[in-house]
């Protein structure tokens, strides 16, 4: 079976999500003290010890996010290969990633803009749409249909008597 376009587009969007995440990491690690002042504190001042701790938190968070993005990149590769559990996991993660900003917006009026979550939100919606298509589902489940056919004794399977197709 030829790989359908929604699988390819979904994987490309997943890679785009990874690239946007690594861009954020590069931005944060490029100027950690400045990132802490502008993005985390909103103008508050810290003692030197608090500043050092906050910078450590940013570095550890960037490392954790980098590991997460590497896992997501492997997941994108598995989606291209047609692994159904990877497609379902990618759709589940996209759904969670859509719900979190919605809940933040609902509870606290979080501003959704290009500077905050709009790009990742748009990518997650597009990933969800691409990977939930019928052709993507059929492609990812193509091996399950073959396995079921073999279990039922379909063409090319070995029956109880040991002969092919009987």
Domain assignment present for residue 165? The answer is: no
Number of domains within the chain: 1
Say which residue, 142 or 99, is predicted with more confidence: 99
Which structural domain, as residue segments, surrounds residue 99? Answer: 5-151
Give the pLDDT band of residue 95 (cuts 50, 70, 90): very high
Domain assignment present for residue 164? The answer is: no
pLDDT at 153 over 70: no
Strand partners, 158: 164
pLDDT at 133 over 80: yes
pLDDT at 146 over 60: yes
Domain assignment present for residue 156? The answer is: no
Residue 151 has a pLDDT of 73
The predicted model scores a pTM of 0.78
Domain assignment present for residue 166? The answer is: no
Domain assignment present for residue 131? The answer is: yes
Domain assignment present for residue 82? The answer is: yes
Domain assignment present for residue 88? The answer is: yes
pLDDT at 120 over 60: yes
pLDDT tens digit sequence for 21-58? 999 899 889 988 888 877 766 667 788 898 899 899 99
Residue 43 has a pLDDT of 65
Please return the burial class of 41, using the count of CB atoms within 10 Å of its CB with bins 0-12, 13-18 and 19+. middle
Domain assignment present for residue 10? The answer is: yes
pLDDT at 144 over 90: no
Residues 6+ apart with CB under 8 A from 32: 55, 58, 59
């Amino acid at each position: 079976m030829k790989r359908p376009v929604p699988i390819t587009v979904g994987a490309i969007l997943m890679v785009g999500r990874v690239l946007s995440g690594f861009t954020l990491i590069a931005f944060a690690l490029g100027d950690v003290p400045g990132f802490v002042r502008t993005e985390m504190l909103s103008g508050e001042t810290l003692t030197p010890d608090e500043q050092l701790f906050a910078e450590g938190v940013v570095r550890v968070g960037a490392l954790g996010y980098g590991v997460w993005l590497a896992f997501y990149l492997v997941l994108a590769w598995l989606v291209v290969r047609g692994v159904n559990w990877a497609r379902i996991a990618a759709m589940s993660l996209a759904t969670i990633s859509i719900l979190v900003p919605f809940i933040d917006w609902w509870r606290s009026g979080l501003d959704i803009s290009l500077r905050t979550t709009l790009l990742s939100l748009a990518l997650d919606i597009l990933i969800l749409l691409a990977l939930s298509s019928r052709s993507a589902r059929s492609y990812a489940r193509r091996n399950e249909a073959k396995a079921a056919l073999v279990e039922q004794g379909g063409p090319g399977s070995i029956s109880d008597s040991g002969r092919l197709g009987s």
